[in-house]
Amino acid sequence: MRNLRGWLRMLACVFACAGAMLPAWAEAPVVGKPAPDFRLPDQDGKLHSLADFRGSWVVLYFYPKNDTPGCTTEACSFRDGYAQIRALGAEVVGVSVDDTASHLAFSKKHKLPFTLLADADGAVADRYGALTNLALIKFAKRQTFLIDPQGVLRQSWLKVDPDTHAAEVVAALRTLNPR
């Protein structure tokens, strides 16, 4: 029991001091400015860049981890709204620090019809201001960026409710890209 208390004290100290050990994070990109480019592998190992999506709206959503409750809810909501989103001229692209094999399993398990990108080192999440780095672990924050067909950021959601977010994105697309 004494040993456990010692470990808990040490862990508390690590988290209390973590702020001083962490690098400064990038700010989220500015609405109205070009969105940061990227080049990342998808769940099948194929490389994608933002330029590959020119001519389409892009729903670029960052999420913490495959197969966790909130991330699964969000992904399945985008899956369920995918036909609507595509009808509004947009592509859905999910990004996390998980690897391609994890993305492939997650995509197959939940029948996700869209691209999942593996940002293993967190560099792209960092450029979008969406990286959380807690010394020994890093993950993407749950944030979404709506990018127009010319690559300009049109809307961002820096706090997301996984249950309702896909509907918010559809509403924004209807406003910004009426068809």
Query: How open is the CA angle 82-97-62, to the nearest 5 degrees?
Result: 40
In angstroms, what CA-CA distances link 145 with 7, 18, 173? Answer: 40, 28, 12
Asked whether 35 and 153 are in contact (CB, 8 A), the reply is: yes
Q: Which of 21, 23, 46, 51 is nearest to 36 (CA)?
A: 51
Domain ranges of the chain: 24-176
pLDDT tens, 129-175?
999 988 788 999 999 999 999 999 999 999 999 999 999 999 999 99
Backbone angles phi, psi at 141, to 5 degrees: -75, 155
pLDDT tens, 2-51?
565 555 454 444 443 444 334 445 687 889 999 999 999 999 999 999 99
Whole-angstrom distance, CA of residue 6 vs CA of residue 2:
6
Q: What is the pLDDT of residue 179?
A: 67
Whole-angstrom distance, CA of residue 111 vs CA of residue 161:
21
Q: Which of 117, 127, 113, 68 is nearest to 94 (CA)?
A: 117
pLDDT tens, 44-93?
999 999 999 999 999 999 999 999 999 999 999 999 999 999 999 999 99
List the catalytic residue out of 13, 17, 71, 76.
71
Secondary structure E strands in 65-136: 90-96, 115-118, 131-134
Give catalytic status of residue 71 as yes or no. yes
- The mean per-residue pLDDT over the stretch 92-114 comes to 97
Q: What is the pLDDT of residue 20?
A: 35
Place of tokens 């709204």: 81
Whole-angstrom distance, CA of residue 159 vs CA of residue 111:
25
Backbone angles phi, psi at 60, to 5 degrees: -100, 105
Q: For the structural domain made of 24-176, what CATH number should be given?
A: 3.40.30.10
> Rounded to two decimals, what is the model's pTM?
0.84
